[in-house]
Structure 1
Amino acid sequence: MNGNILSAEVQTFIRQHADMDASRIALKKSPFEGVSSSELAQQITGWQKVSSKMPEWLKQDKALYFPEKLNLEQCSSAKTGKFKVSLLSPDCTVLDLTGGFGVDSYFFAQRAKKVIHCEINPQLSQIVAHNFLELAIDNVQFHTGDGITFLASSRKRYDYIYTDPSRRVKNQKVFRLEDCEPNILAYQSLFFEHSDTLLTKLAPLLDISGALNVLPHVREVYVISIENDCKELLFVQEKSFQGIPTIHAVRLSTDKSQTFSFNYIQEKETVPTLGEPTNFLYDPDVAITKAGAFKSVASAFHLQKLHQHSHLYSHDDFIGDFPGRVFRIQQVVPFSRFKKNTGVAKANIVTKNFPLKVEQIRKKFKIKEGGEDYLYFTTLYDDRLVVVYTKRI
């Protein structure tokens, strides 16, 4: 950690050049003695990353220090951090075993009485401690070293143990639980010796059912999305829990959050009604589809499913609280007729359970991207290929 970067002159330079291409800064001679051009580029890259994930930090005009880009890849955003805090009890104690850049610890500290931030990278631990001092966070204790070793040598108990296993090992991205670091499957007994409740953030690409098969005492799973982009999975384990896990599909937005809850027994036993597209088309949020609530969402909102595998729904009426996008259907045409006479030069194209990909359709029919019209290429319950012309509500 280079203390020269924290000087007022360097901080002003970083703010003034925050919108620039950092690679251009790296190629120029540094205007500051004791701070290299590559260090300036790193700080500007960090500023840009944090501005999208934690804009409130930058609004405080503090002398923050940003680590290498790799250390920012996996960190949470403000929206997901605030959501996780809503699951905690007030005045609790939290052990963050894999602290990283500290975003989650920062939000935990808003509700917890005490947070312990463990980070194996000494420089990153020093950076987070400095930033928290600047941000006036005084209820976080920092431990530089391996969190597992720290826990194994401790006799203390915590209300929550939080882990966010690294999904990059030896410069390779990994997704299976046993390949992440630490391998949390190997330490379940140790975790439960020190806490009754475990919170684990996992990769969006992880197979939820597979994780439920190997993680004990899972009470809840949260599938969290922002702007129809699945950001993370959060598994909540409770030492005494033996029942069926509840799955929550959570959509976060600027002004509100929306949660749809179900379990896999309900999903398996639900028999959806299959039918034709009528007045409105319902396209579920990625949190719903990742969670696997294909039939449950249809049942809950009394929708007709267009096909067992299409995961598109329809209804005569408008349902404003549906967890996803809603479109007014203009017309439905067989794909065979669409091939003969498209009459469409520009549209947003979506494919669901359809033999052609979006890129292939655009190339084949010379349809440019954009506009107000949405064309859904899909398969109906009787295996007819159709194009649904819609406008988004």
Structure 2
Amino acid sequence: MGTGKETGATDGIQAGFTEDEIAFIREHLHDNPGDLILKAGKFRGLDVKKLAAQVQSRQKASKKLPEWSANERLIFPPALSVEQCSSEATALYKASIVSGQTLTDITGGMGIDCYYMSRSFAEAHYFEQQPDVASSAAYNFAQLGATRIHVHAGESLHALGSGLTADWLYADPARRDANKEKVVRLADCTPDVAGNLALLFQAAPNILIKTSPLLDIDLASKELKKLKEVHVMGYEQECKELLFVLDRDMPERDFKIKVRILDHTGKPLHQLDFDREEERNALVRYSKPLGYLYEPHAAVLKAGAFKTSCTRFPMQKLAIHSQLYTSEALVTDFPGRSFRIVAVCKPDIREISQHIPGDKANITVRNFPAKPEELRKKWKLKDGGDHYLFATTLADQTKVVIVCVKPI
């Protein structure tokens, strides 16, 4: 069975770093990589350009990938690749929703997801077409003690066609077109997982596809067959990833949407499960601002839980297009930001200034005919402070600014 060259721990780049190189990276970890290159003449016998690239990548990874960053012997790819790879938190979450005997990762890359998901399987196969990337991954896996991962430098779809099978297939298709533009359709990603579903399902009964949060969920659901779940993952204040779970035995019906807002260990801080039918049929009550205001997390908005939020939590919506919610009593488990309302004002700084001390405030705009920077300039306010201004439109089309503070 042809699965491409299996890469060992001694090929090419996998020699890793010398002790002097590790010491250089450690000593200059917080320095400006550009400055290090300019001063390269000071460091005789070292490839400063290569090491500065490692410093830059590790700076990008320090918060995103704490376990990998803590290992001084790992080889990091260019900083852009680190920016685009999964975080440790999202990779740990993936590992919690898959399990079995064998995992096959058909898109390789840096290997963050494969490393963490492999912990849920007896063995894993990692495929990467670029030999140097596969070589680095094999070296890193060895340094991390991930002995159950078999690294293949080759074409994964060819290997699947040759009879390689698994319990789960994982794909993180490239998300840019030939002009390096971001794409919103699954068919524009590489490899074309939608176009190769028959082959993928021949190789495994379960498929997990990771995509950018920019991808259109409903459009992707039309491209995919046997779609079981879509996980919309939030971390800190951002929507980070979409996960499409496909099940070969799944009857064709509405897929579940699972919003998960994660902590740094990959465990959900907040979660919301619903489907499109529930969202369509949800009854919404509208209200003027009451005691508290709620701004949904970006993952909730991406998932499209605009009306469902009102049926799952004791709150009302301010207006159909505002995507802000209100309640008389504080809702403590809402997946998003919560505020106590201090005042509801006209969009007039003379009235607003009566409720904020000094010249600082955080400005958010929802369904309002101006941008935050325009309002900040117009009202002569600096960004920051303990007060939050929400410029929005109520159900009766009244334009208001809701002055808020964090709930006690």
The one-letter code sitting in structure 2 at the alignment partner of 1:7 is: T
Instruction: Tell me which of 320, 323, 327 is aligned to 1:308.
Output: 320
Aligned counterpart, 1:358: 372
Identity of aligned residues (%): 36
**Deviation at residue 3 of structure 1 after TM alignment:** 6.2
Gaps of 5+ in 1: none
**Contact 1:272/1:299, CA 8 A, preserved across alignment:** yes
Aligned counterpart, 1:329: 341
C-alpha distance in 2 between matches for 1:260 and 1:359:
32
Instruction: Tell me which of 61, 68, 77 is aligned to 1:50.
Output: 61
The one-letter code sitting in structure 2 at the alignment partner of 1:163 is: A
Secondary structure at the residue paired with 1:43?
Answer: helix
**Contact 2:168/2:205, CA 8 A, preserved across alignment:** yes
2:95 maps to 1:85? yes
**Deviation at residue 240 of structure 1 after TM alignment:** 1.7
C-alpha distance in 1 between matches for 2:383 and 2:50:
40
**Contact 2:13/2:136, CA 8 A, preserved across alignment:** no
**Contact 1:216/1:237, CA 8 A, preserved across alignment:** yes
Aligned counterpart, 1:267: 279
The one-letter code sitting in structure 2 at the alignment partner of 1:50 is: A
2:151 maps to 1:142? yes
The one-letter code sitting in structure 1 at the alignment partner of 2:65 is: M
Instruction: Tell me which of 165, 169, 180 is aligned to 2:173.
Output: 165
**Contact 1:174/1:180, CA 8 A, preserved across alignment:** no
2:204 maps to 1:195? yes
**Contact 2:13/2:132, CA 8 A, preserved across alignment:** no
C-alpha distance in 1 between matches for 2:16 and 2:33:
16
What is the CA deviation profile of residues 77-131 of structure 1, one whole-angstrom value per residue up to 9, with x for unaligned ones?
A: 1100000011012x43110000100000110121111110101110010001001
Instruction: Tell me which of 352, 369, 377 is aligned to 2:383.
Output: 369
What is the CA deviation profile of residues 167-224 of structure 1, one whole-angstrom value per residue up to 9, with x for unaligned ones?
A: 2344603312222111212211100111111100011111111111111111000110
Instruction: Tell me which of 21, 34, 55 is aligned to 1:23.
Output: 34
Q: More displaced, 9-18 or 165-174? A: 165-174
Runs of 4+ in structure 1 displaced over 4 angstroms? 1-5
Q: More displaced, 182-191 or 70-79? A: 70-79
The one-letter code sitting in structure 1 at the alignment partner of 2:161 is: A
The one-letter code sitting in structure 1 at the alignment partner of 2:201 is: F
User: How many pairs does the alignment contain?
Assistant: 387
Map 1:108-123 onto structure 2 (within 5 A): 108-123=117-132
Aligned counterpart, 1:76: 86
2:190 maps to 1:178? no
2:141 maps to 1:127? no
**Deviation at residue 62 of structure 1 after TM alignment:** 4.1
C-alpha distance in 2 between matches for 1:14 and 1:169:
35
Aligned counterpart, 2:48: 37
Aligned counterpart, 1:234: 243
Compute the TM-score of the two structures, normalised by the length of structure 1.
0.95
Instruction: Tell me which of 107, 112, 120 is aligned to 1:98.
Output: 107
Q: More displaced, 94-103 or 326-335? A: 326-335
Q: More displaced, 22-31 or 198-207? A: 22-31
Aligned counterpart, 2:303: 291
**Contact 1:346/1:368, CA 8 A, preserved across alignment:** yes
C-alpha distance in 1 between matches for 2:156 and 2:405:
51
2:290 maps to 1:278? yes
**Contact 2:345/2:351, CA 8 A, preserved across alignment:** no
**Deviation at residue 68 of structure 1 after TM alignment:** 2.4
What is the CA deviation profile of residues 320-363 of structure 1, one whole-angstrom value per residue up to 9, with x for unaligned ones?
A: 1111111011111222xx25544252101111110111011001
**Contact 1:62/1:134, CA 8 A, preserved across alignment:** no
The one-letter code sitting in structure 1 at the alignment partner of 2:344 is: V
Secondary structure at the residue paired with 1:191?
Answer: helix
RCO higher in structure (CA 8 A, sep ≥6): 2
RMSD of the alignment, in Å? 1.6
C-alpha distance in 1 between matches for 2:221 and 2:240:
19
Gaps of 5+ in 2: 1-11
Aligned counterpart, 2:400: 386
**Deviation at residue 239 of structure 1 after TM alignment:** 1.1
**Contact 2:169/2:204, CA 8 A, preserved across alignment:** yes
**Deviation at residue 25 of structure 1 after TM alignment:** 1.6
Q: More displaced, 1-10 or 114-123? A: 1-10
**Contact 1:42/1:69, CA 8 A, preserved across alignment:** yes
